[in-house]
Structure 1
Amino acid sequence: MFSSRMIEIQSQMSERAVELLNLPEDQSCFLLDVGCGSGLSGDYLSEEGHYWVGVDISTAMLNVALDRDVEGDLVLGDMGEGMPFRAGTFDGCISISALQWLCNADKKTHSPPKRLYTFFSTLYSSLARGARAVFQLYPENSEQLELITSQAMKAGFSGGMVVDYPNSTKAKKFFLCLFAGVSANLPKVRKAWSGYLRTDLANMKGKSAKKGKDWVLEKKERRRRQGREVRADTKYTARQRRPHF
């Protein structure tokens, strides 16, 4: 059912998320996997010696996890309706490729801001004070990022966004790193050929989605190096156009 490439990518993203959790060394922790799906990310947690509970909205995916005989406990649930766990239960939380779905209104009764706040507030409660939650996600645009981070802040979290390989279209990965009950610096990140970006939640609100001239020139130069046809640079390159009324 799963290609070796898919399993490898899922394992790599899970490894990255756990690295950003900054868990105590040589110590088994009790972790929450939100949007656990078939349990591929849980497999990595088990390999690292951690105990885990996985939550997913899909009965079919959880049945696959059961068939695969994963070691974690599984819970059927909609993250937008909140996490049904006692306060302080978990030492940390990871989530791979799931959080962005809360930005969609799949039903008429769905309000993305309310569902995000319900999720983050109940997650905050279920984490031990000082614990971290790391979400790998695929945001569609900056508006989604602002929506997600604003609701996380409203629920009490601090933290920020770590972007690996920011200049690569295929390799770029977004990790939202949240701290429950404590203020802390963003986690150290793995060095990459294109570097990384770290943005505090408090500084994300109101950021423009528009790209600056340096970004446009860099992108054009990168395409030239790839042998692609690119328009020549002029004094009008990346200049903001006045709106027409």
Structure 2
Amino acid sequence: MSRPEDNLPPDLYYNDTESRKYTTSSRVQSIQATMTNRALELLDLTTSSFILDIGCGSGLSGEILSEAEPPHTWIGVDISPSMLAVALDREVDGDLLLGDMGQGLPFRAGSFDAAISISAIQWLCNEDEKGVDPKTRLSRFFDSLYACLKRDGKAVCQFYPRDDKQRDMICSAAIKAGFGAGLLEDDPETKNKKLYLVLTVGGEGNKDITGVVQGMDGVDVFDNRKKLMEKAKKDAKKGTKAWIMKKKEQERKKGKIVKADSKYTGRKRGIKF
């Protein structure tokens, strides 16, 4: 079964027909409700809060937020006009904004107590058009998300990575933005496994986010920060191939002429007698 992300960009894939089909599917509604309730459990909000729903679609997750105990106020942002039109027809409680999260979230610093995103951020990894850089889009998204959350705020993003490389790219972007980040995987041994990226802004959570999800039944907990930081440290070491390639790319962006890359780039020279 093909992934929606492999077909078209989200604003084109979710046209009027697909948006209504998605929203009226009882299977989709059930899955969406389960994942949104799980995200709320991980947010662990004890009072009514102001929440950003990223990739809100037709408002299925927003309904859960409005009906939660305690109930929450929310704003939803989505790139699909058709999805938002369905949300308006359904008269959801939240305010809605048309926007591309890959261009950054257009909110004032410290606007939200928390944020959720259900089945959305993997779209940022697609190269839908020539010149689109997934790493740049992920950086813009996580940088702006970090900024618009209050200090000690938290975000939970459920997503479907294509592979481990894509998963690590997403986690790395979140960590570089300043988040404390941990991964929780529900039902890891089944085909229905779900991955949640739990993010914190400031406070103790930045030191060890795994404490938020440890001890839960039926889940595996990962914390990629140490591995990713060690890799970044290794790559940044002067004289390594990664360091040379990075420097050459920086020079190219400045318009300078740089020797073409080859299989010999960064290779250590043998000892000459």
Q: Which runs of 5+ in 2 are unaligned?
A: 1-20, 231-273
Aligned to 2:240: none
Within 2, Cα distance between the matches of 1:54 and 1:201? 29
| TM-score normalised to structure 1 length | 0.79
| TM-score normalised to structure 2 length | 0.71
RMSD: 1.6
Query: What are the residue-to-residue correspondences of 1:25-174 with 2, within 5 Å?
Result: 25=46, 27-48=47-68, 49-169=71-191, 171-174=192-195
Greater per-residue helix proportion:
2
Within 2, Cα distance between the matches of 1:29 and 1:56? 20
Aligned match for 2:228, one of 205, 211, 214: 205
Within 2, Cα distance between the matches of 1:38 and 1:60? 8
Identity %: 50
Aligned to 1:240: none
Aligned match for 2:201, one of 180, 186, 200: 180
SS in 1 for 2:213: coil
Deviations 1:69-115 (A, max 9, x none): 00000000000000000000000000000010101111113100010
Aligned to 2:249: none
- Partner AA of 1:68 in structure 2: R
- Partner AA of 1:44 in structure 2: I
- Offset of 1:8 from its aligned partner? 1.4
- Runs of at least 4 residues of structure 1 off by over 2 A? 188-192, 203-207
Within 2, Cα distance between the matches of 1:140 and 1:189? 25
- Partner AA of 1:197 in structure 2: D
8 Å CA contact retained: 1:20, 1:189? no
Structure 1 204/93 Cα, relative in aligned 2: closer, same or farther at 3 Å? farther
Deviations 1:150-174 (A, max 9, x none): 11111111121000111111x2000
